[in-house]
Amino acid sequence: MKKWRKRLVKFLIFDLAIVLLLLGTGVIYQQVGLRQDAKTLVPPGKLYEVHGDNMHLYTGGEGDVTVVLASGWGTANPYVDYYPLYEKLAPNTKFAVYDRFGYGYSDQTDKKRDVDTVAEELHELLQVSGQKPPYVLVGHSLGSLETIRFAQKYPDLVKGIVMIDGGSPEYYSNDDDSLADTIGGFANKFRIQTGLFRLSMQSDMVVETSNANRNELKLEPDDLKKLDTTALLHNYGNVNTLDELREIATNAKVVVNHKQTLPFPLTILTADYLGASEPEWDKSQVEFKSWSDDSKQVTIKDTDHYIHQYRPDIVADEILALVKK
């Protein structure tokens, strides 16, 4: 029995050593990958100092109106994500794609992700980068909150707003932070820090699955697809994106508490989720029109949440209609 116990202890020690070796290798793999990501993620636009940190802005096109594109939560690289849309906009108007802190090519910041701070950061970025108003604000998904709050704080600068499957403030005010708990939880942090998430993203099948609601990025060039994956590996689960999730309900209530009829047009584009939309979401999208007397809501057929990855032509036409209005 003593011999068997000694052998068992040796086996357990050996197994533990193997596990520790694998974990150590995974941690090194993740850290090396992060350094390589940083070298690959060369800003296509320019970096501007905003509140002491660097924010990225990519611009193009020409015109007297600037279309400001706000991405949704978890969109790791807005420059890539909005490519099909700003390619349609560029011949007709000026556009500006910005990365919130913790996204794309922007720094991470130690400032809370409350909606007032985010709106003020956008305002300063547009000022220091020389983007002249009037602005047509475009908000995808959770980007709806910062665009409306910006319009509430700086109404004289805004010509109109277009929502790309953006949630209404009332809808988001009932959000819970369960997703933040999941992404910021021990299991997911372990997956990221030990390189398991990075390793999984080497599989084409996993990448395609992660891009399923973005039309598998079929409208993107291959080099931009790779940049998108790199940005995801670099930014996924960082403190700023987690804080945004935790602040959803609070931020939405701030916007609702300042609700006044917007003095400009509001266009709400809603995905039909490829025929699988939810009645509660659809109802909230129709009710979203109450934010402006000059509003309309349109459901775009055969699209998922990232409507601009399916029908950038329709989205661009709606945006340009407000530019020209």
Cα distance between the two ends of the chain:
88
Summarize pLDDT for 247-287 with one digit per residue, the tens: 999 999 999 999 999 999 999 999 999 999 889 999 999 99
- The whole-number pLDDT of residue 14 equals 47
- CATH class of the domain defined by 46-324: alpha beta
Long-range contacts of the stretch 305-308 (C-beta < 8 A, 24+): 305/72, 305/141, 305/165, 305/213, 305/271, 305/273, 306/72, 306/81, 306/140, 306/164, 306/165, 306/213, 306/214, 306/215, 307/164, 307/165, 307/269, 307/271, 308/81, 308/82, 308/84, 308/85, 308/140, 308/164
Summarize pLDDT for 13-27 with one digit per residue, the tens: 545 555 555 556 656
- Which helix (H) or strand (E) segment is 29 a member of? helix 2-40
Decide if 192 contacts 282 (C-beta within 8 A).
no
Return the axis-axis angle of helices 248-257 and 143-153, rounded to nearest 10°.
Answer: 30
Beta strands in the chain (DSSP E): 46-50, 53-60, 66-70, 94-98, 135-140, 158-164, 266-271, 295-300
| Whether residue 6 has pLDDT greater than 70 | no
Summarize pLDDT for 145-183 with one digit per residue, the tens: 999 999 999 999 999 999 999 999 999 998 876 777 777
Half-sphere exposure of 278 (CA within 13 A, CB side): 7
Q: Indicate the SS3 state at residue 160.
A: strand
Q: Which percentage of the chain shows pLDDT scores above 90? A: 71
- The whole-number pLDDT of residue 1 equals 55
Exposure b/e, 186-196, CB count within 10 A at least 16 = b? eebeebbbbbb
* Number of residues that this document lists for the chain: 325
What are the tokens at 75? 């969109």
Binned at pLDDT 50, 70 and 90, residue 9 comes out as very low
- The whole-number pLDDT of residue 199 equals 76
What are the tokens at 3? 């011999």
**Cα–Cα dist 49/140, whole Å:** 24
**Cα–Cα dist 64/311, whole Å:** 25
Residues facing 46 on adjacent strands: 57
- The whole-number pLDDT of residue 187 equals 79
Return the axis-axis angle of helices 248-257 and 115-128, rounded to nearest 10°.
Answer: 80
pTM here is: 0.90
Summarize pLDDT for 293-322 with one digit per residue, the tens: 999 999 999 999 999 999 999 999 999 999
Sorted by where each begins, the domain ranges of the chain are 46-324
**Cα–Cα dist 140/161, whole Å:** 11
Summarize pLDDT for 127-145 with one digit per residue, the tens: 999 999 999 999 999 999 9
CB atoms within 10 A of CB 284: 18
